[in-house]
Structure 1
Amino acid sequence: MRRVVGSLLGLLAALALMVSGCSLVLTEGPGGSGSGQDPAATAPAATAPAESGDAESGGVDPESGLPWIEVEELPQEAHETLELIDHGGPFPYDKDGSTFGNFEGYLPEEPRGHYREYTVESPGLDHRGPLRIVTGGEDTGQGVAYYWTSDHYESFERIRR
């Protein structure tokens, strides 16, 4: 009988530890204490204004929570990419216009296929580089949202157009 009671107590203790561990993960997220990760390192970079974001551009987009960036603040190569997007191409890379999955979760949550990515040429590089413009939505009267990332999806700014 003692062996059964001891086993039951051991199972209850293990269950209590599992439940409390799950509640920590649910309340603190994957970067919570005990995960071995610094919570600041897993926080969305989009919550902090990017270099040319919040203060210089004039606020935060209420829809996305991202800092605004003016078209004039973008590099000339981004202007060229915006022009290609406006005219439907032709685009220099096969991946241009492909679905952007938003796996990082920095952009507003939308169904798969909502976002498209476009390469912005990075002078001096012989590959696509880190610069991208991501669009969201279709030009159906509600407008298209344009997003800028200069660090390959680590942070975003909403392009004011």
Structure 2
Amino acid sequence: MTSRNRLPARLAVLLCALVAAAGCTGADHSATATATATATAASAATATAPRPSAPRPSAPRTTAATPAPAGTWVPTDPALADVCRTRLPAQALDTLGLIARGGPYPYRSDGIVFENRENRLPRKASGYYHEYTVVTPGSADRGARRVVTGGSGEQYWTADHYDSFQEIDVRC
């Protein structure tokens, strides 16, 4: 509930409390109770109803006790930020398409083992991660953008040459 919605609800509850404290009886009392119930219901409705401009919540996290349904994307590391696939630059989507097809890749370094020396991705055995270049328009070399894939199919995006990573959420 936003602060804009809380104020009228609080004022209505306060007004009802004041009227009740003034000693209303009989029909007045039932009107106060109705007003209080209406204000409380309105307050609860605005608290639970999603605002149209609010982002949709992520899917609930799963655990070993409650595994995710088949085909559901689950982040590999809850501490790592994620990014919707559709929010990536077009060149990153091109690279992801090449990875899905198995190449051919524009740079001979594409597909090499990513060592994770910065330890910004979850720790795995050597050879688990592989890196791929994302073309950077206007760059004379490979640029700083990469997609790194994990042996279990997870994909990561970095726009700053491994200084930070976001896990790619394929659901969106």
Using the size of structure 1 for normalisation, the TM-score is 0.59
More deviation, 61-70/78-87: 61-70
Q: Does 1:147 align with 2:160?
A: no
Q: Does 1:132 align with 2:146?
A: yes
User: Are the structure 2 counterparts of residues 58 and 101 from structure 1 closer, same or farther at C-alpha, using a change threshold of 3 Å?
Assistant: farther
Counterpart of 1:107 in structure 2 is: 121
How many Å apart are 1:126 and its aligned residue? 1.2
Counterpart of 1:73 in structure 2 is: 87
User: CA–CA distance in 2 between the matches of 1:119 and 1:112?
Assistant: 20
Q: Report the identity percentage.
A: 45
- One-letter code aligned to 2:158: T
How many Å apart are 1:63 and its aligned residue? 2.7
- One-letter code aligned to 1:129: G
Using the size of structure 2 for normalisation, the TM-score is 0.55
Q: Does 1:91 align with 2:98?
A: no
Counterpart of 1:25 in structure 2 is: none
User: CA–CA distance in 2 between the matches of 1:83 and 1:95?
Assistant: 17
- One-letter code aligned to 1:121: V
Counterpart of 2:76 in structure 1 is: 63
- One-letter code aligned to 1:150: A
Q: Structure 2: which 5+ residue stretches go unaligned?
A: 1-53, 62-73
How many Å apart are 1:57 and its aligned residue? 9.1
Q: Structure 1: which 5+ residue stretches go unaligned?
A: 1-54, 138-142
Larger Rg: 2
How many Å apart are 1:58 and its aligned residue? 6.0
User: CA–CA distance in 2 between the matches of 1:57 and 1:128?
Assistant: 35
Matches within 5 A, 1:34-45: none
User: CA–CA distance in 2 between the matches of 1:155 and 1:62?
Assistant: 16
User: Are the structure 2 counterparts of residues 58 and 104 from structure 1 closer, same or farther at C-alpha, using a change threshold of 3 Å?
Assistant: farther
Stretches (4+) displaced over 3 A: 55-62
Contact 1:131 1:150 (C-alpha < 8 Å) held by counterparts: yes
CA RMSD after TM alignment: 2.1
